[in-house]
Structure 1
Amino acid sequence: MTDIHLFGTLRDDALRARVLGRDIAGKPAVLQGVATVERPGADDPALVAGTGAEVPTLCLRALDADLRRRIEFYAGGLGCRAVELPQPGGPVLIFAPDAPDAAAPHDAEGQGPWDLAVWQAAWAPICRRAAEEAMGYLGRIDGATLAGRMPTIRVRASSWVRAQTAPAPRHLRRGYDRDRVAVHDRRQPYAHYFAVEEADLQHPKFNGGASDTLTRAAFVLGDAVTVLPYDPARDRVLLVEQFRYGPHVRGDVLPWSLEPVAGRIDPGEMPQEAIRRECDEEAGLTLGHLEPVASYYPSPGAVTEYLYSYVGLCDLPDEAGSDAGGKDDEGEDILSHVIGFDRLMELIALGEIDNAPLLLTAFWLAPRRRELAALA
């Protein structure tokens, strides 16, 4: 039987346990004549040929069919496939995006050596959480389909880690934490761009005891940012207009929405970084100072989405935002509008603006415009 050697992220004990479904240590070993390098847009590394190089691995032997199936499925989600690698003691099986080719020396820029400890410090919590969701699809989809879903899985995983490590403060609330909620059964009937999670659960009641067993469902979305670009010198704001499927499904006869600039926070990204990236993508704007407005759940009864809203100071001359924007590969078609702040408040009074983050941000900004002008 050909031995399977795990390298890269699967050397992390906690991640490997999630993928295999149980703790399996493996036997430490090395692959000779190869090195690990960073793979653009991926957490797991690529292998390249290197004279005298070695890669530490964990060797798994006599794997049953279920364990082999689990590894193949997860590897497929990472864009990897089974590769037989020649070694001095005989060929071994690895899962990699491509077989290392000694005839094609590695000279790609920006692909430095990959280091497990560096990855663990920066990415391990997100990848472990993503692996939990990914392995839940085993037997329901194939590895290629999982690979298409992995970007949004990682966005949801990043939001989970953010919620665990940076919760809102507790001053007035009673103080119950999530460990007091007893989940008896959890189901996921749908998952793609967002997921739907349904569970049967009980939670503690304020007057003592526990609730009856309740069935609850939620749309699972990643965290997002919104920013209202504001020019304090000209007292102007920039709004974006785009088609929104939610209003369309509701039956709205005008499903094009006026909004602040908004977008998902990519894994490993800070909210402020996401804001600057989205402003460049949607409106071609470079923002200066960012002023936080609020962070909040827009609809906590049924949606996991958590928003970080900001005002971003910038220059908005007459020609600003005159072109349509958005990313073609994401199907975005976005029109920008530069208007005076008084006109913004008129549109709110008329009811044309019905986007919650924009309403919240406009009302926050109204009494602070002079203060922001001084700051600018």
Structure 2
Amino acid sequence: MQDIYLVGLLAQRLMLAAFGLTGAQVEVKGRLLGGERAGIERDGWPVLKDEDGAINAVRVQSNDALQRYIAVMGLQPLSRPEGPVFGAVGQGEAVRPWHPVLTDLAAEIATLIVEAPADQDVKLLSRRLPMLGVLAASRLRGRASAPSGGEVVAPHGSEDLRVVAKRQPYAGFFAVEAWDLAHRKHDGGFTPVITREALVSGDAVIVLPWDPVRDRVMVIEQFRLIPALRHDPQPWLLEPIAGRVDAGESVEDAIRREALEEADLNLGRLYPAVNYYPSPGTLGEFLYTFAAIADLPDGITGVHGLDGEAEDIRGHVLPRETLVRMVTGGQVTNGPLAMIVLWLETQKDRIRAELAQASG
């Protein structure tokens, strides 16, 4: 098999590990420019310029995992005297020299591509790349999380979970995963092998804008499929501003972006509230919940959303106490909205005191 040369992101240790590859460190003539989103977006790869100098590369014997990844990313070989080069494109307008930025995230995305079922079409994986980025970032944040349960739940390690097989019977914008597993029981033994399924959707942010001067909050209204499937007579729900955390995006940046997209609203100071799994038995989602200081005068609401996602989102500004009464009176059926409203009810005096102290 012919040697190929990997440059830029593909020459990084974490990427090679994702493909199960080792190789020889070599140099390739030229210069890499741009590519800050390499491995995150299909068009995020650096440009390899034919210039004096040399860049670090790794010479490898390709394998099926790398070839699948190359196909998903749409990478083409660049012809160089040393041999075919992968990890860059031949044309582009980039100016800044390439340097590793999101290697951990890119390697996790590569792992998801390699782990996908062997019969899953590379075109589907390419279309799912934005969601794969969301899921990869979610896995990284999950590994970095402090164990929940405090002193109540005994610590568990990897030896307490035995995964026999994994399947992905459906993959679209979201995916369904099925695991055959056995886990440690409370008496010290293990369960028999059982099958558990989950809808995998990644991490999301929730924010309730609050104007402490006027004591108003902003919520949004939009159609939701799940109440319609349940034959609920009101599938248009009151909700908090919310959305997925994109690949390479911080939780805080996601909150501010979603507020602009869904309500054309600029947020002030963010107050982290409760972070949680909304339905850990079936839904592979983790929510980061915040209250945010905002200026909410009369006339600030409207209908917003992204045309590309067919969003039709109406904003509502309500007295905070009115929304509290709606939650406690059963008029709010969106769980994250109820959670953040009740959290703010317990924390509003503390937040007001902090704001007063900050203003002098």
TM-score normalised by length of structure 2: 0.89
1:245 deviation in Å? 2.0
Q: Does 1:155 align with 2:134?
A: yes
CA distance in 1, matches of 2:74, 2:341: 44
> Is the CA contact (8 Å cut-off) linking 2:204 and 2:286 kept in structure 1?
yes
Which among 31, 35, 50 is matched to residue 35 of structure 1?
Answer: 31
CA distance in 2, matches of 1:70, 1:270: 29
Q: Does 1:296 align with 2:285?
A: no
Q: CA RMSD in A?
A: 2.3
> Is the CA contact (8 Å cut-off) linking 1:72 and 1:81 kept in structure 2?
no
> Is the CA contact (8 Å cut-off) linking 1:325 and 1:335 kept in structure 2?
yes
Q: Match of 1:81, SS?
A: coil
Please identify which structure carries the higher strand content: 2
Within a 5 Å distance, the mapping from 1:102-121 to structure 2 comes to 108=94, 111-115=95-99, 118-119=100-101
Match of 1:174 in 2: 154
Which among 202, 206, 216 is matched to residue 226 of structure 1?
Answer: 206
> Is the CA contact (8 Å cut-off) linking 2:35 and 2:47 kept in structure 1?
no
Q: Match of 1:221, SS?
A: strand
Q: Match of 2:165, SS?
A: strand
Flag structure 2 segments of 5+ consecutive residues without an equivalent: 356-360
Match of 2:115 in 1: 136
Deviations 1:192-217 (A, max 9, x none): 22221111111111122111221111
Within a 5 Å distance, the mapping from 1:1-376 to structure 2 comes to 3-19=3-19, 22=20, 24-32=21-29, 34-39=30-35, 41-43=37-39, 45-61=45-61, 67=63, 69-83=64-78, 85-87=79-81, 92-95=83-86, 98-100=89-91, 108=94, 111-115=95-99, 118-119=100-101, 123-137=102-116, 139-169=118-148, 170-321=150-301, 323-376=302-355
Deviations 1:139-179 (A, max 9, x none): 42443332211111111111111111123443211222343
CA distance in 2, matches of 1:75, 1:138: 16
CA distance in 2, matches of 1:364, 1:157: 29
> Is the CA contact (8 Å cut-off) linking 2:8 and 2:87 kept in structure 1?
no
1:40 deviation in Å? 5.7
> Is the CA contact (8 Å cut-off) linking 1:231 and 1:315 kept in structure 2?
yes
| AA at the equivalent of 1:314 | A
> Is the CA contact (8 Å cut-off) linking 2:134 and 2:245 kept in structure 1?
yes
CA distance in 2, matches of 1:214, 1:25: 37
Against the structure 1 CA distance between its residues 164 and 142, is the aligned structure 2 distance closer, same or farther, given a 3 Å change threshold?
A: same
Q: Match of 1:25, SS?
A: coil
Deviates more, 1:72-81 or 1:38-47: 38-47
Q: Match of 2:303, SS?
A: coil
Deviates more, 1:52-61 or 1:352-361: 52-61
Q: Match of 1:353, SS?
A: coil
Residue identity over aligned pairs, in percent, reads 33
> Is the CA contact (8 Å cut-off) linking 2:251 and 2:288 kept in structure 1?
yes
> Is the CA contact (8 Å cut-off) linking 2:219 and 2:317 kept in structure 1?
yes
Against the structure 1 CA distance between its residues 173 and 54, is the aligned structure 2 distance closer, same or farther, given a 3 Å change threshold?
A: same
> Is the CA contact (8 Å cut-off) linking 1:237 and 1:338 kept in structure 2?
yes
Flag structure 1 segments of 5+ consecutive residues without an equivalent: 101-105
CA distance in 1, matches of 2:310, 2:70: 29
> Is the CA contact (8 Å cut-off) linking 1:45 and 1:114 kept in structure 2?
no
1:77 deviation in Å? 2.0
1:316 deviation in Å? 0.1
Against the structure 1 CA distance between its residues 182 and 278, is the aligned structure 2 distance closer, same or farther, given a 3 Å change threshold?
A: same
1:252 deviation in Å? 2.2
> Is the CA contact (8 Å cut-off) linking 1:263 and 1:274 kept in structure 2?
yes
| AA at the equivalent of 1:301 | G
1:350 deviation in Å? 4.3
| AA at the equivalent of 1:204 | R
Match of 2:358 in 1: none
| AA at the equivalent of 1:162 | R
Aligned residue-pair number = 350
| AA at the equivalent of 1:305 | E
Deviations 1:43-90 (A, max 9, x none): 4632232420322222235x5xxx2x543321232232234x142x6x
| AA at the equivalent of 2:75 | C
> Is the CA contact (8 Å cut-off) linking 2:38 and 2:46 kept in structure 1?
no
